[in-house]
A = this chain, B = another copy of it.
Amino acid sequence: MQIEYYNPTRLIFEPGALARLGEVAGHYGQKALIVTGGGSVKRSGIYDRALASLKDAGIAVAECSGVEPNPKITSVRRGAQIVRDENCDVIVALGGGSTMDASKAIAAAALYDGDPWDMIFHGQPDPHIPTSALPIITVPTLAATGSEMNMAAVISNEETQEKSFMQAECLFPRVALVDSELTLTVPQDQTAYGVCDIITHVTEAYFNGVDGTPIQDRFAEGVILNAMEWGLKALADGNDLEARSQVQYASILALNGWVNAGTNGGYPVHMIEHTVSAYHDITHAAGLAIIDPAWMRFAAEHRPQKFVQFAERIFGLKAKGADDLDCALKGIDRFEEFLKSLGCPTRFSELNIDDSLITRYAQDTLRIVHDEDGNLPARPAMTEADIVKVLRSAL
């Protein structure tokens, strides 16, 4: 086990934290760019409360609104231009994962003279990894991506139909200001997708990581068990603040490095999903819900042991032995049933996606991420044929 962990984001997690935005932002700047998505934060009044808190603290504000659900590089270029035009010195991301991801890219793009797409890993031989960015404060309004407390951002390019990511230490938000009250009004479908997103983040590292990580396994199982339990409660009663808080805490832990430190896992399901959703405007988590169980069945055949542990510890099943494939597959069935109980799709046909581009998804995935043998990093590493097989099994 080798761990290299670093995460300097300050997490402030408490109901009502939004009121502290101005005080927090005041430590980092005098003029904030508020980045928002499609307008729900304005309809809900969250935007006005954020603005009031900033203004009370004497912080001037510029705005970059309309970031797309799969944030586009054009929005990043636009945001960076506003920062320059308006002399902003701190970025406030007010929204879901897309808004936070766009904010990170904007914070770095504002200090970079080249085109921001250079910073996104899209298969180019020498990506530009930024070393400086404006300070970022994330105020998540959804419990899903975990972007509020990590250094990654996923950005799409409509022209080239690519969706990929950037990672750099300068992208760590200075503060993740997490107010679960903001998630009380999240509609049922997005609540469900958030839970799916959280669990898939955890299962990726859990199943694709190195052997010999028993503590990380327990942490992952703890997050999964609680995301399932509290996720169903949040779905049943959106106003259950306790449930909303637990789900949101799970969402942060799923990707802030505490659970997967040293596991060094690939993210095959995410990588495949990114290429699918680069062609179809589907919700990220809907793609995950379809691909994850299909991928699990493929991987369990190669290495049932970890899937047996999953079946036993998450669903209380009893295996006949450590490599009881039947038990492993039953656990995956139970997981798929759970995703269905959330209301997630589990087959592409439910989203009207057929097999016509299936080879292209596989090829694009491998173009963006591949090991030295040209395969997708995962356990087991996946060839183009493997990816097609998994996708086909989920039609």
Contact = CB atoms under 8 A, between A and B. Distances in A.
Interface string A184-220: 0000000000000000000000000000101101110
A305 interface: no
Given A3-B11, A5-B10, 8 more contacts: A1-B245, A3-B13, A4-B11, A4-B14, A7-B7, A215-B223, A215-B253, A249-B262
Interface string A224-237: 01100110000000
A250 B261 CA distance: 13
Contacts of A218: 218-219, 221-223, 225-226
Nearest to A212: B242
Contact of A215 (B3, B14, B249): B249
What is the oligomeric copy number?
2
B8 A12 contact: no
27 contacts: A1-B14, A1-B245, A2-B15, A3-B13, A5-B10, A5-B11, A6-B8, A6-B9, A6-B10, A7-B8, A8-B8, A11-B261, A13-B262, A212-B242, A214-B226, A214-B230, A215-B222, A215-B223, A215-B226, A215-B246, A215-B250, A217-B222, A218-B218, A218-B219, A219-B219, A219-B222, A221-B222
Contacts of A3: 11-14, 249
A321 to B, nearest CB: 20
A28 interface: no
A99 B140 CA distance: 41
Contacts of A219: 218-219, 222
Contacts of A47: none
Q: Which residue of A5, A226, A253 has the most chain B CB atoms within 10 A of its CB atom?
A: A5
Nearest to A1: B245
Contact of A1 (B5, B6, B12, B13): B13
Nearest to A3: B13
Interface string A11-24: 11111000000000
A258 interface: yes
Q: Which 8 A-B pairs have the closest CB atoms?
A: A218-B222, A3-B13, A8-B8, A2-B14, A5-B11, A6-B10, A258-B258, A215-B226
